[in-house]
């Protein structure tokens, strides 16, 4: 009997000692269940997504370089064009100063053209020689005169100084060219000064004849 009681006490004592161990072993499990976030931190974004975002935030250097190169090429072309125009039309002011000399030579030739006595023949030849030399020099530099008489008034190339009736030209046509116009390599060097017809004179016979024919 005494042995059975002693054995029973020993068994109870052993169970009592093992119980706290079981409780202790369950505490970490409980703690993990109550605080799941402590052992499972927030997942980091994938490396590929991070790299794509970083790449999109950076400037496109290749595109910027291509645009800059295109702008530079356009600038070079524009500069070359401007420089060429400067060279081509650098003499424009000089030629403009020469043109009045040509005008005076033309007037001198026209003044002696009707001389039938022959006294001014040598003079005419001399003036004509100077005139022809001037014209040749001007053409060598790209300057060319243009005719205006009989044409419609072109305000880009002609300057109307008067409107007068004309028996020979319809209204709006150039009837008289008082100063010849000049072009320099396709651009107007000097506009022609012209008189524009305002129509047939009142009582013109040609008008009456045309009216009678109708």
Write the pLDDT tens digit of every residue in 93-134: 778 878 888 888 888 777 777 665 666 677 778 788 888 888
Domain boundaries, the chain: 2-31, 51-87, 92-141, 144-204
* Reported pTM: 0.50
- Asked if residue 153 lies in contact with residue 171, where contact means CB atoms within 8 angstroms, the answer is no
Token digits of residue 76: 């070079």
More confident residue, 29 or 101: 101
Q: What is the pLDDT of residue 82?
A: 75
pLDDT of amino acid 214 = 43
| Amino acid 124: pLDDT | 78
Dist. CA 82–CA 164, nearest whole Å? 42
| CATH class for the domain made up of 144-204 | mainly beta
Cβ atoms of 173 and 197 closer than 8 Å: yes
Structure tokens, 212 = 């009678």
């Amino acid at each position: 009997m005494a042995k059975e009681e002693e054995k029973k006490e020993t068994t109870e004592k052993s169970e009592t000692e093992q119980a706290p161990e079981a409780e202790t072993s369950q505490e970490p499990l409980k703690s993990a269940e109550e605080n799941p976030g402590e052992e499972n931190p927030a997942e980091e974004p994938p490396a590929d997504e991070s790299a794509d975002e970083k790449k999109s935030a950076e400037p496109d250097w290749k595109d910027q370089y291509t645009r800059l190169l295109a702008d530079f090429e356009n600038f070079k072309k524009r500069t070359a064009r401007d420089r060429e125009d400067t060279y081509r039309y650098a003499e424009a002011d000089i030629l403009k100063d020469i043109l009045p000399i040509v005008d005076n030579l033309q007037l001198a030739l026209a003044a002696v053209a009707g001389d039938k006595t022959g006294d001014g023949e040598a003079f005419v030849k001399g003036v004509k020689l100077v005139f022809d030399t001037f014209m040749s020099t001007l053409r060598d530099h790209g300057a060319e005169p243009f005719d205006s008489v009989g044409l419609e008034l072109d305000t880009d190339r002609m300057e109307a100084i008067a409107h007068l009736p004309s028996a020979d030209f319809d209204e709006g046509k150039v009837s008289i060219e008082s100063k010849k116009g000049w072009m320099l390599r396709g651009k107007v060097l000097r506009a022609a000064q012209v008189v524009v017809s305002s129509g047939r004179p009142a009582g013109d016979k040609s008008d009456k004849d045309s009216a009678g024919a109708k």
